[in-house]
A and B are shown apart, each in its own frame.
Chain A
Amino acid sequence: MEKRLSVMIVLLMVAATIFAGGKQETQAPVTAPASAPAVTATYDSTFKGDLAFGGSTTVDPIITAAIEEWKELYPNVHISYEGVGSSTGIKGVLAGTYSLGAASRELKAAEAASGAVTTAVALDAIAVVVNSNSVSLSNLSVEDVAKIYAGEITNWKELGGADSSIVVFNRDEASGTYETFEKKVMGKTEFMKAASVTTGNGDMAAKVGATPNAIGYVGLGFISEKGLKPLSLNGVEASIKNVYNGTYAVQRNLNVVFTELGKIEDAFVNYILSKDGQDIVADLDFIPLP
């Protein structure tokens, strides 16, 4: 028995080295042309070390993708990103747990007073989405959306849709998405409590996509998920163009948060702000800075 166990452990270690070694295998082909991305301007071969970033789950895809791309320029720098939520991320930055944080909301007064600083790295629009298989509507006024979320409109029939009750999905109230939606759509109106609460953009997308007659709201990056149909608000489509020209109002900044930028963190933030980084932002269906 012991023998078998030790054999297993050895196999495991071998497997580990193989998998770990696999990373280096993806070498660039010989014929690759020397493209010069904007970021090489700040290239510094002395960069190395382990860095821990953390924060918003909404910004997670951007930071994760940027880290994975950036790693190719700086193989000696190892960065991990922890999607722990905006607030925890900011707190982590202030406590020094994370050398860079990310937040899908603006700083609160107390956080700014403790020395946190933000830089916007992308824009995000919050799109109102419905279940595409069952909801025929494609446009709603902002007031109607607010009324749905206040519980005043409860049937699609009242808005010109089929005679079926509206299934409302909301976000957990401490999330940045919730805050933005509350500010930009609800105004003074209060949310009804009976709506199902989802725990993330993805969770929301999943549940609205799978539930007939459902309505919800997600970051623009999630509207292409299965079963979702984004609604136009007041006749304005949730699109990059309309965010830039200001006609689509339900939008926000996605920020990185820090107290003081280290050399490597500075280069990383510059990378996200560079053309390459903004291309990544666009690839992920977020909105690059104008």
Chain B
Amino acid sequence: MKNDTPSHERFIELMLFLFACVSIISVIGITFFIFEEGLPLFVHVNFFEFLLSSDWSPTADNPSFGILAFIIGSIFVTTISLIIAVPIGIATGVFMSEYANPKWSSIVRKGIELLAGIPSVIYGLFGFFFIAPIIRTLTSSDTGLGVLTASIILGIMVLPTIINTTEVSLRAVPRELKEGSLALGATYWQTIIRTLIPAARSGIIAGIVLGIGRSIGETMAVLMVAGNSPIMPKGLLSNTRTLTMNIVTDLKYAEVGSLHETSLFTTGIVLFIFILFINLLVHYFMKKSLERTQGK
């Protein structure tokens, strides 16, 4: 068969193959360059001090590069955003796959698509001009900016991811499982909570992890609402700076070629490792979810 293929088709197949390699090459390229630019920091700065100190004063006479506060900031903001988004997201996913009639399901789906499509700067504007004043009036927060506002905005931003994956994984659960449960006398809700959600567990978790990735990687929206102090966040209302914010804030001013600039790429490495780890988790759960539904 192969020998029959005309040479120009072979050539085109080779082309197609090369194009298919573009994404993996890009990933390798991105990894290489971020590391190449960022790793030299450790010639001058102790590796553990970088990760475990929260003193960030890159332009001081005696500069210190500690990004612990930003790591904690990223994790903190992401966690709170998930606490907000997960219940709402799963509930809406359940609604879409189990409760909604076609008309409502289509309305909600279009809404979620719009929510997913709104650019992050617009979320930032909304957070700054709408959420922050509300937080300011309701709490003791002075600015209304900080962990909570950033988390609310991020929570809204990751909702579509969680809703979609929940809905898709629930729909992938074989019908017999549901019918079996109902036939055994379980109520509809009992079926959902005891049979469907456990069956769709891996898919839902994959969606949540995907949401974590989006939340940690988000830059512009948090930049506009998180307060941006390079300090360890002390509570929900405290100002914070995340890894992404640190890069975007300082890159504008860092002297090119300085240790300060290098340290921003190093911050990028940390962010990148976080993301890679999250990607692996997603991959793992997706695979598990696929095995589950196909295995049955």
Contacts and interface: CB of A to CB of B under 8 A. Distances in A.
Interface stretch (B42-50, B102-110, B136-144, B176-184): B136-144
A58 to B, nearest CB: 12
Contacts of A214: 142-143
B143 A207 contact: yes
A211 B253 contact: no
Given A194-B229, A196-B227, A199-B249, A173 B57 contact: yes
Q: Which 3 pairs, one residue from A and one from B, show the smallest C-beta to C-beta distance?
A: A174-B253, A91-B256, A167-B142
B57 A196 contact: no
B59 interface: yes
A188 to B, nearest CB: 12
Contact of A85 (B129, B239, B253): B253
Nearest to A171: B253
24 contacts: A87-B253, A91-B255, A165-B142, A170-B229, A172-B250, A172-B253, A173-B58, A174-B59, A174-B254, A196-B143, A196-B239, A197-B229, A199-B223, A199-B228, A199-B252, A207-B145, A210-B128, A210-B133, A211-B142, A211-B143, A212-B136, A212-B142, A214-B142, A214-B143
B185 interface: no
Nearest to A211: B143
Interface string B250-277: 1011111100100000000000000000
Contacts of A175: 253
Interface of B: 57-60, 128-129, 132-133, 136, 142-145, 223, 227-231, 239, 241, 249-250, 252-257, 260
Given A87-B255, A207-B143, A196 B249 contact: no
Interface residues of A, number: 27
Contact of A193 (B229, B253, B257, B260): B229
A194 B142 CA distance: 12
Nearest to B234: A194
Contacts of B250: 172, 174
A243 B231 CA distance: 35
Contacts of A170: 229
Given A196-B145, A196-B239, A88 B58 contact: no
Contact of B256 (A87, A173, A210, A213): A87
B254 A197 contact: no
Interface in A172-197: 172-175, 193-197
A196 B254 contact: no
A204 to B, nearest CB: 11
